């Protein structure tokens, strides 16, 4: 399959072309010799659509008849005005030869501005479940296949609500067994974590159960999984159509516009402005008119303010965060460097017992913590933090975790994830969330846990650590030969293998022998081979790529999938690692060998571009592998530039 061909036919890729980060993704894939996975024959058939979906996925309208539109798949659709449902009626190869124009009604609306979550709808009136929709359109997710250093971008089809069953993961035992199964079984595809409740819901597809039963189960589960953030938005939803609330929304829009276009970049003033605005708006809002029923008293002022903040932040957060980042630039850099210096800290220094040394879980949590940079609103950021904590709680096998046990683990994950701008993110949350609301919700606990863990690392003393006295602490902190494995930790989105080795190093290099560390690092990271110019170039390229990738938003929930081949190899690697842990002398040698193997492996992969994926299915959709070539990339970039120009011109007009 040719990529350029695929572009002209595949609606999902067409949609993604409008996404600025998609070009970065393609760039990354080409450099990494990666692969793009796209559903075989993605169609928009049999899906009744809502306007949001139209905005993002369907653009071309019949200039003669505004009700008719053409999908990217060349299917004709018709808008049914009364029912407000958009139906795709017929299959045909019909094309409009005339100049295609966008309908006036949809002209102003932009394509994929936010992370578009498709609200699934069904045709039957009974099944219209506007409020109970599950948002699950993942644009793309990036994964590395274990054992193989092949990067895979994975684009999924928007799924229908009828096919989804929400599963609680109350019993951590279950989820743990799942993860075990994942490691063993081949070709298993699963989705982990979703927007609704970070890690607390797993979405599985299931077609065996009757739809009625499903609905009942869904209802129960949704109630059970309700977290305070979702509750607020859900309770506010029914009121959105009321004229008072709509006036409010208009005001908010104008306010956001003003903020975005303000020339002053004094952050404190902007904060004061927004806070004043929120107070004002809250006072102006006639609560009595809005809440007619007595039952509605549940929606209180506090909730409204959170809701207003959410709306404002969804529009202005990028701007505000960018200012805050500029302001906190020095601090961020300082903490980042300081945490890098602390990477000699091991489990035993923090007093973490060996039963909690589960690297998979810790890595997962570290990855989750990186997502905080991509979340927009404070509530979403809080959910991300909650997700990190919930992942870590898997370590306790469902037993009640003690703060004394949990805290060191959290500190460890923060230290080794070393998320850039964690400081600014925490500040951002602190500024824009209601402190009283935080103090009486579960988010507050997780937030204060993470803040205090961060503070612990910031003000670390030798007395806080075990087996370290003052002199040793100073020595280790000031030693020039620091492990620079943090680069790998940063890239753990892409390199599982490296991380495994890296983790082992942490466990086993307890002698603090700097020379040994140095040797290992040199063998482990080809980053430090200063002698070779070519490698230096590669290094730079890699760094650039990593930067670009770190700034990307790969969707809220990466889709994990594993393959038989790769799993076997991953297990083999693990075993070899375990063997190495038996003796210190053997350890170094075998590690070097392992690293060499890895390097060789990478080289092989660089050459071998014909790697075949087997039976990748997700929600009954089969996926194809599309290798992307440089020529393709150039064409695509041109296309993207043209598209952007067109959009700009349209806006100007």
Partner 1 sequence: MKKQKVVLLGKGRVGKTSIFKRFLQNEFHDNEVTTIQPQYLEKQVKVNTEKVTLSIWDTAGQERFRGLNPLFYRNSKAAIMVYDITDQESLDSLEDWLAELKNQVGHKIVLMIVGNKSDLKKKRQVSIEDAENLAKKVGAQHFCVSAKTGENIDEMFHELAKRVMKFVKENKTPLNTTKSRRNFALVNEDVETKKKKKKNNDGCC
List of residues contacting partner 1 (CB under 8 A) = 170-172, 393, 396, 398-404, 406-407, 435-436, 439-442, 444-445, 448-449, 451-453, 455-456, 459, 463-464
Spatial separation of the C-alpha atoms in residues 474 and 483, rounded to whole Å: 16
CB of 464 to partner 1, least distance (A): 5
Distance CA 498, CA 597 (A): 11
- Selection from 431, 22, 72 nearest residue 267 by Cα: 431
Phi, psi (rounded to 5 degrees) for 143 = -140, 150
- Which of the 8 DSSP states describes residue 153? E
Q: Is 48 helix (H, G, I), strand (E, B) or coil?
A: coil
Rounded Cα distance, 200 and 386, in Å: 9
Question: Least distance from C-beta 232 to partner 1, angstroms?
Answer: 15
Is the Cβ of residue 160 or residue 200 nearer to partner 1 in the bound state?
A: 200
CA gap 198, 386 in Å, rounded: 7
Residue 388: CB minimum distance to partner 1, A: 14
Residue 35 vs 395, nearer CB to partner 1: 395
Q: What's the CA gap between 387 and 364, in Å, rounded?
A: 10
Q: Is 539 within 8 Å of 527 (Cβ atoms)? A: yes
Q: Work out how close the CB of 542 gets to partner 1 at its nearest, in angstroms, rounded to a whole number.
A: 37
Which of residues 279 and 329 has its CB atom nearest to partner 1 in the complex?
A: 279
Compute CA distances 541 → 346, 363, 538, 629, whole Å: 31, 25, 5, 17
**Token pair listed for 589:** 């040698």
Give dist(CA 340, CA 17) in Å, integer: 37
Q: Which residues pair with 625 in a beta bridge?
A: 37
Q: How far is the CB of 614 from partner 1 (least distance, A)?
A: 38
Run of H or E residues at 168: strand 164-168
Q: Give min distance, CB of 103 to partner 1, in A.
A: 48
Minimum CB separation of residue 451 from partner 1 in Å reads 6
CB of 477 or CB of 592, closer to partner 1: 477
Q: Which is nearer to partner 1, 271 or 643 (CB)?
A: 271
Residue whose CB is less far from partner 1, 47 or 453: 453
> What whole-number distance in Å separates Cα of residue 253 and Cα of residue 634?
38
Q: Give the alpha-carbon dihedral of 101, 107, 109, 113, to 10 degrees.
A: 40
- Which is closer to partner 1, CB of 383 or CB of 494? 383
HEC readout, 479-548: CCCCCCCHHHHHCCCCCHHHHHHHHHHHHHCCCCCHHHHHHHHHHHCHHHCCCCHHHHHHHHHHHHHHHH
Q: How far is the CB of 439 from partner 1 (least distance, A)?
A: 4
Shorter beta-carbon distance to partner 1: residue 401 or 624: 401
- From the CA atom positions of the chain, what is the Rg in Å? 26
Other CB atoms within a 10 A radius of the CB of residue 277 amount to: 18
User: Least distance (Å) from partner 1 to the CB of residue 442?
Assistant: 5
Least Cβ distance, residue 361 to partner 1 (angstroms): 16
Least distance (Å) between residue 124 CB and partner 1: 35
Cα–Cα distance between 391 and 371 in angstroms, integer?
Answer: 14
Backbone angles phi, psi at 398, to 5 degrees: 85, -5
Q: Shortest approach of partner 1 to residue 441 CB, angstroms?
A: 8
- Give the phi and the psi of residue 294 in degrees, each rounded to 5: -70, -25
Q: Which is nearer to partner 1, 238 or 444 (CB)?
A: 444
Residue closer to partner 1 (CB basis): 51 or 398: 398
Question: Is 580 in contact with 591 (CB distance < 8 Å)?
Answer: yes
For partner 1, the closer CB: 459 or 478: 459
Q: How far is the CB of 179 from partner 1 (least distance, A)?
A: 17
CB 405 → partner 1: shortest distance, Å?
9
Nearest residue (CB) to partner 1, 402 versus 612: 402
Which residue lies nearer to partner 1 by CB, 435 or 585? 435
Residue corresponding to tokens 């009364």: 82
Q: Is the Cβ of residue 442 or residue 582 nearer to partner 1 in the bound state?
A: 442
How far separated are the first and last CA of the chain, in Å rounded? 38
Tokens of 33: 């010799």
SS3 596: helix
Q: In degrees, to the nearest 5, what angle opens at C-alpha 76 toward C-alphas 75 and 82?
A: 135
């Amino acid at each position: 399959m040719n990529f350029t061909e695929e572009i002209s036919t595949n609606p999902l890729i067409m949609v993604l072309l409008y996404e600025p980060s998609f070009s970065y993704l393609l760039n990354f894939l080409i450099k990494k010799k990666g692969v793009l996975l796209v559903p075989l024959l993605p169609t928009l058939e049999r899906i009744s659509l809502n306007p949001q979906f139209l905005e993002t996925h369907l653009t071309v309208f019949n200039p003669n008849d505004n009700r008719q539109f053409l999908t990217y798949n060349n299917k004709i659709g018709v808008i049914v005005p009364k029912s407000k449902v958009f139906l795709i009626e017929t299959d045909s190869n019909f094309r409009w030869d005339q100049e295609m124009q966008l309908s006036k009604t949809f002209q102003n609306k932009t394509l994929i501005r936010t992370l578009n979550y498709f609200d699934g709808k069904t045709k039957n009136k009974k099944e219209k479940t506007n409020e109970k929709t599950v948002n699950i359109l993942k644009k793309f997710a990036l994964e590395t296949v274990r054992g193989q250093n092949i990067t895979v971008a994975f684009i999924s089809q928007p799924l229908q609500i009828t096919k989804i069953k929400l599963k609680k993961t109350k019993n951590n035992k279950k989820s743990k067994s799942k993860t075990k199964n994942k490691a063993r079984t081949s070709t298993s595809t699963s989705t982990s974590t979703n927007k609704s409740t970070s890690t607390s819901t797993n979405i599985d597809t299931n077609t065996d159960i009757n739809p009625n039963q499903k609905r009942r189960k869904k209802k129960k589960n949704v109630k059970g999984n309700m977290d305070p953030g979702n509750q607020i938005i859900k309770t506010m939803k029914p009121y959105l159509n009321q004229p008072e609330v709509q006036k409010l929304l208009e005001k908010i829009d104008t306010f956001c516009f003003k903020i975005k276009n303000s020339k002053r970049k004094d952050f404190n003033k902007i904060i004061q402005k927004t806070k004043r605005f929120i107070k004002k708006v809250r006072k102006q809002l006639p609560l009595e008119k809005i809440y007619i029923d007595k039952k509605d008293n549940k929606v209180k002022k506090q909730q409204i303010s959170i809701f207003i903040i959410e709306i404002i932040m969804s529009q202005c957060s990028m701007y505000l965060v960018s200012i805050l980042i500029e302001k906190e630039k020095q601090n961020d850099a300082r903490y980042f460097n300081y945490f890098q210096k602390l990477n000699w800290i091991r489990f035993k220094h923090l007093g973490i017992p060996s039963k909690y040394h589960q690297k998979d879980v810790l890595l997962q949590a570290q990855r989750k913590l990186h997502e905080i940079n991509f979340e927009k609103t404070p509530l979403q950021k809080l959910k991300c933090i909650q997700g990190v904590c919930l992942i870590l709680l898997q370590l306790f096998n469902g037993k009640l975790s003690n703060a004394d046990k949990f805290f060191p683990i959290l500190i460890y994950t923060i230290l080794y994830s070393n998320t850039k701008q964690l400081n600014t993110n925490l500040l951002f949350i602190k500024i824009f969330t209601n402190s009283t609301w935080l103090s009486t919700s579960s988010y507050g606990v997780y937030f204060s846990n993470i803040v205090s863990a961060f503070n612990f690392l910031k003000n670390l003393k030798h007395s806080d650590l075990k087996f370290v006295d003052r002199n040793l602490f100073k020595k280790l902190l000031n030693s020039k030969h620091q492990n620079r494995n943090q680069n790998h930790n940063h890239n753990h989105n892409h390199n599982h293998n490296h991380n495994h080795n890296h983790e082992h190093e942490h466990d086993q290099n307890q002698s603090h022998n700097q020379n040994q560390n140095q040797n290992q690092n040199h063998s482990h990271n080809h980053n430090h081979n200063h002698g070779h110019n070519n490698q230096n170039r590669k290094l730079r390229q890699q760094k650039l790529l990593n930067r670009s990738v770190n700034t990307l938003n790969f969707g809220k929930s990466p889709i994990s999938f594993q393959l038989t081949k790769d799993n076997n190899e991953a297990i083999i690697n693990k075993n070899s690692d375990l063997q190495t842990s038996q003796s210190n002398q053997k350890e170094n040698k075998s590690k070097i060998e392992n690293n060499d193997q890895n390097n060789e492996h990478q080289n092989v992969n660089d050459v071998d571009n014909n790697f075949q994926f087997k039976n990748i299915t997700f929600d009954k959709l089969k996926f194809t592998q599309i290798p992307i070539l440089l020529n393709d990339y150039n064409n695509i970039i041109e296309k993207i530039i043209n598209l952007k120009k067109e959009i700009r011109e349209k806006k100007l007009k």
